[in-house]
Structure 1
Amino acid sequence: MALRVLIGCKRVIDYAVRVRVKPDKTGVVTDGVKHSMNPFDEIAVEEAVRMREKKIASEVIAISCGPAQSQETIRTALAMGADKGIHVEIPNADMSVFQPIHVAKILAAVAKKEKIDLIIVGKQAIDDDANQTAQMTAALLDWPQATFASKIEKAGDDLAVTREIDGGLEDVKVKIPAVISADLRLNEPRYATLPNIMKAKKKPVQKLSPKDLGVDISSRIKVISVEDPPTRQAGIKVDDVDSLVAKLKEKALI
């Protein structure tokens, strides 16, 4: 049976942009700043599209939670080959306290509504580096999970996944339905061609709100302050090993 695959696509500040903290320390500057799809989510989209090309998947649905501009992120996924999109609109005012637990609840609700067989998301987002959404989504659905995937293959009615772990690689087998998070070496995402970009404009994008899915996104945290990292102190040069040892001892005694 071919799978219906749901792909999480987060809109983040582009990786090439230098992030600046707001003067009032409430967050980072996002107005007028270039955004793009989270790179790990691009890898997730690519893997799902490849699955459909191999007839493992029958449909690829891209979902993004965020402000109106998140539709651009969905269109990028559609241009890469996703079949349709779902935009769960989150007001800009709520984005600073919109957490992975909220995303996980939304993904779980959509998975049930759309009768999804497989969820693939990036292992983490490059803005908050939380690395929580896949794990919490799997827990909410009570589905097996395979995180940090660097290889995914169909193995009968199951999926064989190679995971990247601290000690090297781990091979696991998960039953479907399942949740997978994509690591960097899973694949290299394709560039969207101009014809596919034009076709993406005609593909359907459904607009929903958290309320439509029965998800409460009220804040459970309060941002106290967002600070720039401390400036790194300048190093010093030493003339020889004895001077180096003396300096290290001096630092250890401080």
Structure 2
Amino acid sequence: MLEVRGIETFYGASQALFGVDLQVGEGQMVALLGRNGMGKTTTIRSICGLTPPRRGAVRFLDREIAGLRAFRVARLGVGLVPEGRRCFPNLTVRENLVATARGEGWDLDSVAALFPRLGERAGQIARTLSGGEQQMLAIGRALMTNPKLLILDEATEGLAPVIRQEIWAAIRDVKGRGQAILIVDKNLKDLLPLTDACVILEKGASVWSGSAAELADDAALQDRFLGV
């Protein structure tokens, strides 16, 4: 479904990515891992057209999308849950969800079934929600685009443990429906049991890829590339 090959991305004259490779198959969940500042969010921005790569290839559904504007990438079926949630603060929960709705499948009722809190707070202004509720809203908003590929950037960062578990339960549910997912998260304990494959970045380049089981069984590898 998604194939990223050797992308190099710059912010002005400063190079951030030096060759990132990854693949996501249909119905597959792939984790993009690495310490802070290693290029995970820039990789996502490169895929989504927010910071287009200068070199390399990004193919989605057998179409080259590197260089396409972000709204065109979204229309092709890439749904992004960005780091920091970025809900529309002055709109209600319902308005946030309806604003992005397209296609068939996910709708207000199915999102409310996935996150009952959103159904209960449909008329509430987004900025008044808790951080965890805003994260649920950001995920629901992305699902309302009925994406072929869902990208989650730090979906559980900074949340209370009970809210994190609700988010993980929802991700498990979404994956169980056959949704292809590319996810960035630091919580290996919850992440790896759900993940089919992992890619690790170091200083803006892919340095390891393999199954979640391989990574889970290799403490030295985790310590080398993911340890504090």
TM-score (normalizing by structure 2): 0.30
**Higher helix content, 1 or 2:** 2
Structure index of larger Rg: 1
Report which structure shows greater RCO (CA 8 Å, sep ≥6): 2
